[in-house]
Amino acid sequence: MPKHFESLESFSKEELQTFLFRAAVLKGESKRGIRHCQLQGKTVGLVFEKPSTRTRVSFEAAMYGLAGQVIFLSARDTQLARSEPLKDMARVMSRYVDGMVVRTYGQDVVVELARYSTVPVINALTDLHHPCQVLSDVMTVMECRKNLDRLKIAWVGDGNNMANSWIQAASILGFELALACPEGYGPDADILERAKASAARPISLHTSAEEAVAGADVINTDVWASMGQEKEQEERLKVFSPFQVNAQLLAKAPDDVVILHCLPAHRGEEITEEVLESRQCVAFDQAENKMHMHKAILELLLTAGRENA
Ligand code: CP
Ligand code: NVA
């Protein structure tokens, strides 16, 4: 059975730490000009049903950076768009490629592909999770602050796919997470409940952004309307306005608070231009780290069990 990356819950704390450690090593080596060829002869298929800049390019660059290759498939150009069953797609793709990276709407699509695929399936964003993004964001936090387990991370805004993956990261890796979301726009209730039940540090849900950022080491936000929610954009602009990450909110947090945004950002909505462009904001380090983290994920999943082959 291949190891799939459906959500952060697919892994133990030690496994997530291995990804984090390996990504940092690969980043350091590539900065020193060391060339890698761990995935020579391997091919990954990217199947994307939603737009992407960072995730697509960073997975492709990661694969080429490890001497592998990629085949990009826009899902609408495949037979999936004409209702070919996912179980057939998974078994066919498994005969051609060594791994699949999938961006889609339903988490059930990733789960179904993983069920039938004989090669690793990696979640590159669904409506429910964005696990590879959050893992690379944790890497970025660790570059700014040591001792993850002593940190308080605040999530301000929509209880979306990113929020759900942050909840799982907090629970598994053991840091404090305070989420502030408007009522009715909180994270997935099951994910939150499960995570709280096994968390070593507090995971709390608030309706006040000021409350969540008090004493926080990191403030994290994301768009108010995710891909697929475009029709709700206008309504959401009204509901979310008290949740903007701006200078007034930063004044309620410690002076050296780090600002995260996975990008793309809507300046003037969830974050102001001033905060996004401030010295405290590490959004472009996050974007870079996606490539290093994706190298670590691809390397570890695509070579798993090779020593026993
Ligand atoms: N952060 C992120 O996933 O960006 P893309 O949608 O551009 O891939
Ligand atoms: N929550 C956003 C993340 C984009 C990277 C979305 O799903 O559109």
- Would the CB of 104 count as within 6 Å of ligand 2? no
| pLDDT exceeds cutoff 90 at 125 | yes
Name the residue at shortest CA distance from atom 3 of ligand 1: 55
* pLDDT average, residue stretch 183-211: 98
Please check whether residue 301 is in contact with residue 3, taking contact to mean a CB–CB distance below 8 angstroms: yes
285 neighbors 261 (Cβ within 8 angstroms): no
| Domain boundaries defined on the chain | 8-130+290-302, 133-287
Q: Whose CA is nearest to atom 7 of ligand 1?
A: 53
Residue 112 pLDDT greater than 90, yes or no: yes
* pLDDT for 10 beyond 60: yes
Taking only the tens place, the pLDDT of each residue in 42-96 is 999 999 999 999 999 999 999 999 999 999 999 889 999 899 999 999 999 999 9
Mean pLDDT, rounded, of the chain = 97
How far is the centre of ligand 2, averaged over its atoms, from the C-alpha of 47 (Å)?
Answer: 17
20-57: pLDDT as tens digits: 999 999 999 999 999 999 999 999 999 999 999 999 99
Query: Does residue 124 have its Cβ closer than 6 Å to ligand 2?
Result: no
Ligand number nearest CA of 53 is 1
Task: For residue 225, give the ligand nearest its CA.
Answer: 2
Instruction: For residue 127, give the ligand 2 atom closest to its CA.
Output: 7
Q: Find out whether 132 and 286 touch, Cβ atoms under 8 Å.
A: no
| Chain segment 255-268, per-residue pLDDT in tens | 999 999 999 999 99
Per-residue pLDDT, averaged over 181-209, amounts to: 98
Ligand 2 atom nearest to CA at 228: 8
C-beta 263 within 6 A of ligand 2: no
The ligand 2 atom nearest the CA atom of 52: 5
The tokens for 26 are: 């690969």
- Topology of the domain covering 133-287: Rossmann fold (3.40.50)
Cα first-last separation, the chain: 13
Task: Indicate yes or no: pTM above 0.85.
Answer: yes
- pLDDT greater than 50 at residue 309: no
Could you give the CA distance from residue 55 to residue 294 in angstroms, rounded to a whole number? 9
Could you tell me the two tokens for 156?
Answer: 């301000």
Query: Looking at the chain, which runs of residues are DSSP E strands?
Result: 43-48, 69-74, 99-103, 121-123, 152-156, 176-180, 203-206, 218-221, 258-261
Interval 199-207 mean pLDDT = 97
Nearest Cα residue to atom 1 of ligand 2: 226
Dihedral sign for Cα 162, 168, 171, 173, please.
negative
pLDDT exceeds cutoff 80 at 221: yes
Tens of pLDDT along 128-182? 999 999 999 999 999 999 889 999 999 999 999 999 999 999 999 999 999 999 9
- CATH architecture label of 8-130+290-302: 3-Layer(aba) Sandwich (3.40)
C-alpha of residue 308 to centroid of ligand 1, in Å: 35
- Centre of ligand 2 to C-alpha 168, Å, is 17
Q: Which amino acid makes up residue 145?
A: R
Q: Identify the residue whose tokens are 């608030």.
A: 206
